[in-house]
Amino acid sequence: MDALIAAKLRNRFTLFDRDGDGRITKASAFTRLDRDGDGRISRDELAQAFEEYFTGTDRDLPGNWLYGPVR
């Protein structure tokens, strides 16, 4: 993963991980990002979403639901 994207991921993950357990709970995240359906978003799931957001071209990829279209 690109170093800049990894740094942004760490910062955003910290913001979303409200209880500091290393996972984002369903109450504070989008269900689409929970790829394995366990009710939480892991660091790997969020990393994949960030990569999709910054590099993907398919609007329906879960990562493109983070902030909307890149302008």
- pLDDT higher than threshold 80 for residue 17: no
Domain definitions of the chain by residue range: 3-65
pLDDT bucket at 41, cuts 50 / 70 / 90? confident
- Answer for the pair 45, 53: CB distance below 8 angstroms, yes or no: no
- Answer for the pair 45, 9: CB distance below 8 angstroms, yes or no: no
Question: pLDDT, tens digit, for every residue of 42-58?
Answer: 989 989 988 888 888 88
More confidently predicted of 31 and 42: 42
Gyration radius of the chain over CA positions: 11
Highest-pLDDT range among 20-24, 44-48, 65-69: 44-48
- Answer for the pair 13, 24: CB distance below 8 angstroms, yes or no: yes
- Domain spanning 3-65, CATH architecture: Orthogonal Bundle (1.10)
